[in-house]
Structure 1
Amino acid sequence: MENCHILVVEDDPDINRLLCTVLGNAGYDCRPAFSGSEAELWATQYNYDLVLLDLMLPGLTGEEFIQKMRRKKTMPILVLSAKAGLEDRVNVLRLGADDFIPKPFDNAEVLARVEAQLRRYKEFSGGGAGQVLTHGALVLDRESVTVTVDGKPASLTAREFEILALLMAHPKKVFTREQLYEQVWGGEFMGDDNTVNVHISNLRSKLNKVSKGDYIKTVWGIGFKMAEENE
């Protein structure tokens, strides 16, 4: 994808070099970082389209990096780590990561996941003027990539923004977990509900933190939809 800048955060020089080479050959502009502290410095000074992140890093852990970035950045964060247990994966998704690839990884899969993340992020954040969705007190602006509740800003990750945009664009429709995954993540649903459930839970929590209320309704046994104002 042309003119996309990726921050590759991996303390192993050989793995970092490999990832930068694979992504560079696909046309991406990559900057390597070898510690969490260095990654925070680069991510604060420059805007990246995506961060590819290891978790076990010197200086600042991957989890701490995600927490710091999610206070001020919306770009996709794709975690690539040997800490691949269910608890580890759920934890980083709750912190604000958008996807998780376990080590050892396949180069083609990493490239495909990166492409999917960037494609979905640009589709949802690159809309033209007038791309504003409203639902009660909720206002989502695709052009500025912002969400407000009762006029107060809600800080969402790129993935949470995409989910909310999809639900708000079809407020009457009930989306199954499979539909949400395939439309937002851009891949085939493999039957793991945890990824969708965690992002929905995070999204609800963040909206509720800004302004108390029920904005997303669970339709038991089916999926999720926007809640009616009187629900």
Structure 2
Amino acid sequence: MTKILVVEDDSLLGEMLTLYLSEEQFDVRRVETAKDGYDALRRFDPDAIVLDLMLPDAEGAEVCRFFREKSPVPIIVTSMKTAVADRIRAIMCGADDYLTKPYSVQELKVRIMAMLRRIAAYSPPVPSAAPARCRIGLDLERRTIVLDGRQIETTFSEYELMKLFTKHPGRVFSREELLNAIRGADSFVNERAMDVHIANLRRKIEPDAKQPQHIKTVWGVGYKFIN
């Protein structure tokens, strides 16, 4: 059963989410504080996290950053804040999606399912015909990048980007295409967020992130991947 960790201090909303998601056949663990969320991340080992940014004992963006550092599972941030700057900050701290309160619990479920489907989607391995040329690959079971045989941990969004890039080497993707591919066309789209994901990927896989050899910028269009 898919496990969902809900970090929400609003008792009424938290109980409603727990009841609804449980009825939809999810295994739900709800906590009300960041401290309990940290403990649940370790003990409960969730498949996805629904995180309220307004918590009584910690600043929400920092909680999101902590979760992202400790786990690659998808994070959906929920908040009453509607400013673009707040959305961008949440994404930069590791969130994979952002829902503004009040929101539909049905929409939350759909977004969770969409992210889980992308995790489970088949990604073909790098062809074995030319292993010497394949410096960058993917470990499908661990959901990591393999760089010269070395495992590189990624966030949910970074892994989905690399899965798309390695599946279509040389193809030029616009920022909008990349965002739609990793979050779905109905999710919040901001091109600045994509630039952040690309910068983080370059720091992880490029010998010199300032002069990238693999993830190339196509000015005025977007990005392409060269292995």
TM-score, with structure 2 as normaliser: 0.85
The structure 1 residue matched to 2:99, chosen from 89, 98, 101, is 101
The structure 2 residue matched to 1:69, chosen from 67, 70, 79, is 67
- Aligned equivalent of 1:216: 215
**Unaligned runs of at least 5 residues, structure 1:** none
- For 1:173-192, what aligned pairs fall within 5 Å after superposition? 173-188=171-186, 192=190
Q: Distance in 2 between matches of 1:60 and 1:137?
A: 41
Q: Deviations over 1:2-26 (max 9, x none)?
A: x110000001111111111222222
State the AA in 2 paired with 1:32: R
Q: How many residues align?
A: 220
Once the two structures are TM-superposed, the CA of residue 74 in structure 1 deviates from its matched residue by 0.8
Q: Is the 8 A contact 2:137 2:166 kept in 1?
A: no
State the AA in 1 paired with 2:125: Q
- Aligned equivalent of 2:152: 154
- Aligned equivalent of 2:7: 9
Go from structure 1 to structure 2 and tell me whether the alpha carbon gap of 1:118 and 1:155 turns closer, same or farther (over 3 Å shift): same
Once the two structures are TM-superposed, the CA of residue 188 in structure 1 deviates from its matched residue by 4.3
Q: Is the 8 A contact 2:51 2:76 kept in 1?
A: yes
State the AA in 1 paired with 2:208: K
Q: Is the 8 A contact 1:117 1:185 kept in 2?
A: yes
- Aligned equivalent of 1:170: 168
Go from structure 1 to structure 2 and tell me whether the alpha carbon gap of 1:9 and 1:78 turns closer, same or farther (over 3 Å shift): same
Once the two structures are TM-superposed, the CA of residue 32 in structure 1 deviates from its matched residue by 0.4
Q: Distance in 2 between matches of 1:188 and 1:71?
A: 26
Q: Is the 8 A contact 2:64 2:93 kept in 1?
A: yes
Q: Is the 8 A contact 1:120 1:186 kept in 2?
A: no
Secondary structure at 1:71 match in 2 = helix
Q: Is the 8 A contact 2:97 2:187 kept in 1?
A: no
State the AA in 2 paired with 1:212: D
TM-score, with structure 1 as normaliser: 0.84
Give the share of equivalent positions with the same residue, in percent.
34
- Aligned equivalent of 1:131: 125
Question: What do you get for the CA RMSD once the two structures are aligned?
Answer: 2.4
State the AA in 2 paired with 1:16: G
The structure 2 residue matched to 1:114, chosen from 112, 118, 132, is 112
Q: Is the 8 A contact 1:53 1:80 kept in 2?
A: yes
Q: Is the 8 A contact 1:137 1:149 kept in 2?
A: yes
Q: Distance in 2 between matches of 1:220 and 1:196?
A: 14
